Amino acid sequence: MTRAIRIGHLYPDVMNLYGDRGNILALVQRARWRGIQVDVVPISLGDPFRAETVDLLFAGGDQDREQRRVAADLAGPKGDAIRAAIEAGLPALVVCGSYQLFGQRYLPAEGPELPGLGVFDVVTEHPGVNVVRCVGNIVVDWNGSLLVGFENHGGRTYLGPRAAPLGRVVAGYGNNGQDGTEGARYKNAFGTYLHGSLLPKNPRLTDELLRLALQQRGDDPTLAALDDSVEEAARRVAIARARAERHAQRNVGATARPR
Amino acid sequence: MVVAGLAGELACGSALVTGTNGKTTTARLLARALHASGLTPVHNTAGSNLMRGLAATLASVAGPAGHLPASRRTIGVFEVDEAVAPHAARAVRPRIVVFTNLFRDQLDRYAELDTVAALWRGMIEELHGATIVLNADDPLIGALPAPPAGRRLLYGIADPAAAGDPSGAADSIWCPRCGNRLEFRAVWFAHLGDYGCPECGYARPPLDFAAVGVRPCGFEGSDLRVRLDEREIAIRLPLPGIYNVSNALAALAGAVALGVPSEVAARALTDATAAFGRAERLTVAGREVAILLVKNPTGADQALRTILAEEATPHLLLALNDRIADGRDVSWIWDVDFERLAARHGPITVTGDRADELALRLKYAGVADGVEVQPDPERAVRRALARGEGRLYILPTYTALLTLHDILARQAGTARFWERREP
Ligand SMILES: [Zn+2]
């Protein structure tokens, strides 16, 4: 029997910054290369969320202006349905702006606080447009293997008592540039600041999401091995970049710090 | 400051050109038109569009005493980065400012579109008595207000036949007045087109310079007519792509705003050659080589579209760097429609600091056959020239272009190649 996965792409026309398309592409291609059928279902502003039509949820990054529209759309029954589905084990990957909105609340640089979905017990505060953004290549230790991507966020995210980070920062800023944590994980939902694109360069995470989606459907979750040499080559370069930047940051920090 | 002092010595004042895409070509075309009218443009070269680039340009023209040569004809034409424009305007006090478009480009430097638009509004408030030349096809640009005691000149495309595929990266599809989704009657490329807001009634403003009868002639360029003051003038533009139609309109409007007769400006555009790295052509080792600088998804999509219209199985050298001038974030390549190449392509060589990321992008686009990774640019050029026949198309990011230019110049070994760099 042919296996199939339906990917719900939240706000594809609104939250589509930083090569988010690459994340969808990675899921689709790595499923297809194994003979698994994939449907991508766009779920935009005003569209209802029906848990029974989706096996995996993805949402990407955006700008502050768009974030207000999305927060408003998530308030009410749509947000409730998404939260319930994740509570019931729906796998999800939410990146950057979506990660912030899947937390408890987000305080933007300007304007009123935005309520979050509360999937993750995290809060995000934007310290203001004059405070330096967290920008650069980033490497994260995720259960002993490395995730690599690019981060670019003004908001600082802080974990609450019930939150578990997705991983530990090896090089880069992560959640807030201070506590060494990156992202958040709750059940099968992953929140992260890594884009760039994340999934093509991190095939292990991509395959984990596909496995969880198959499991959630009750399908056989075993995935045939693929030749990942091109992925590995791109990872190596990106990891080297992040490590080199960390050295540069440290040197700048050392000379700039007043005594 | 150096810039303010020297710019004050320019007898005919200055023009600034800013925006995400097309500012180099537009500034270059504008300088040509001004030159054709008998003025002596002082023009910064491509890429040096930060304040120190402006200072270096002015200093290079200044004599030993640190002054510009006394002339009644000098005029500054400066392309400036989006975020630098307000500083440049304060120093240079321009007579006109051309705003080409606003795309999400290199967000690591400029944060967000709204931030840049707000910066520009503040800048315009200080441009007392100046003229701003606006690309009305871009919703964010069309909404910019006139300077105090100044005026707005609007240019845009008014040819429904020029409409492209509306699927592109829609950066600013939201109404700048009320935030609702805009409706497009026609899309030229990306978010540039003829738009209107169903909620608040904001729509593309009336055009002072309208391109009608746009007839693309592939890589050779486009024929078009420009309607202004109830007249039409014909331009045979030797630069390919609908985006260059926009650039030509911007230059024409800018030149007219500075007092150049429209016929003189139109003739200068007809004789134009490509700006540095923009659809440049040269011969290397007997092979025809075409270079198209790419720096964001929109530009790359346009380049691929132009090439695929010209070639059955294009032979490509793609070069991706991630230095500061390129944008350190390479995620934009995932928004480029490399899928267009899946159906047909010739040999593809990838190079640059992030060649492996590019190869990965191609893999997920379904382009696998004939892709060769050569991170070292010297070797990559050798391999690309050795593989396949016919015209080789090089698509580099900015710093990769600089490196490849040096390599190609050495191989081409002709001075003629370098003449193309200056107007
Ligand atoms: Zn509106």
> A25 at the B interface (CB within 8 A)?
yes
Q: How far apart (Å, rounded) are the C-alpha atoms in residues B328 and B155?
A: 33
CATH top-level class of A4-256:
alpha beta
* DSSP class of B277: T
More confident residue, B170 or A198: A198
Residues 119 through 158 of chain A touching chain B, CB cutoff 8 Å: 129, 133, 135-137, 150, 152, 154
Kindly give the distance from the C-alpha atom of residue A65 to the centroid of ligand 1, in angstroms, as a whole number. Answer: 14
More confident residue, B398 or A174: A174
**How far does the CA of residue A87 sit from the closest CA of chain B (Å)?**
31
Q: How far apart (Å, rounded) are the C-alpha atoms in residues B88 and A106?
A: 35
- On whether the CB atoms of residues B355 and B373 are closer than 8 A, the answer is yes
- Grouping H, G, I as helix, E, B as strand and the rest as coil, residue B62 is coil
Nearest CA in chain B to A22: B334
pLDDT of residue B165: 61
Assigned token pair, A128: 């203001």
Q: How far apart (Å, rounded) are the C-alpha atoms in residues A38 and A28?
A: 6
Looking at the partner chain, which of B114, B353, B360 has a beta carbon nearest the beta carbon of A65? B114
pLDDT tens column, B191-207: 899 999 999 999 999 99
Q: How far apart (Å, rounded) are the C-alpha atoms in residues B71 and B380?
A: 47
Which pTM value belongs to this model?
A: 0.76
pLDDT of residue A63: 67
In chain A, residues with a C-beta closer than 8 Å to the C-beta of B361 are 22, 200
**How far does the CA of residue A151 sit from the closest CA of chain B (Å)?**
9
Residue limits of CATH 3.40.1190.10 in chain B = 2-270
Residues with CB under 5 A from ligand 1 (ion): B 175, 177-178, 197, 199-200, 202
**How far does the CA of residue A232 sit from the closest CA of chain B (Å)?**
9
Contact flag B364-A238 (C-beta cutoff 8 Å): no
Kindly give the distance from the C-alpha atom of residue A24 to the centroid of ligand 1, in angstroms, as a whole number. Answer: 31
Fold classification of B278-419 is Protein-Tyrosine Phosphatase; Chain A (3.90.190)
Assigned token pair, B375: 């991170």
For the CA atoms of chain B, what is the radius of gyration? 21
Kindly give the distance from the C-alpha atom of residue A117 to the centroid of ligand 1, in angstroms, as a whole number. Answer: 28
Q: Where are the domains of chain A?
A: 4-256
Q: How far apart (Å, rounded) are the C-alpha atoms in residues B264 and B120?
A: 31
Assigned token pair, A72: 């408003």
pLDDT tens column, B58-77: 888 888 888 888 888 999 99
pLDDT above 50: residue B169: no
pLDDT tens column, B133-151: 999 999 999 999 999 999 9
pLDDT above 80: residue A60: yes
A195 is catalytic: yes
A9 is catalytic: no
* Average pLDDT of chain B, as a whole number: 87
For the CA atoms of chain A, what is the radius of gyration? 18
Across the A:B interface, residue pairs with CB atoms under 8 Å apart total 89
- Looking at domain B2-270, does it have CATH number 3.40.50.1370? no
Percent of chain B at pLDDT exceeding 90:
55
Catalytic pick among A126, A134, A195, A247: A195
- On whether the CB atoms of residues A72 and A116 are closer than 8 A, the answer is no
Residue limits of CATH 3.90.190.20 in chain B = 278-419
Give the mean model confidence (pLDDT) for residues A146-175.
95
- Compute CA distances B218 → B31, B167, B270, B363, whole Å: 25, 21, 16, 28
pLDDT above 70: residue A35: yes
Q: Is the dihedral of CA A9, A11, A14, A18 positive or negative?
A: negative
In chain A, residues with a C-beta closer than 8 Å to the C-beta of B107 are 17-18, 152
- Compute CA distances B307 → B220, B290, B304, whole Å: 11, 10, 5
pLDDT of residue B109: 47
- On whether the CB atoms of residues B78 and B16 are closer than 8 A, the answer is yes
Contact flag A230-B353 (C-beta cutoff 8 Å): no
Residue with tokens 């729509």: B203
Chain Cα centroid distance, residue B126 = 26
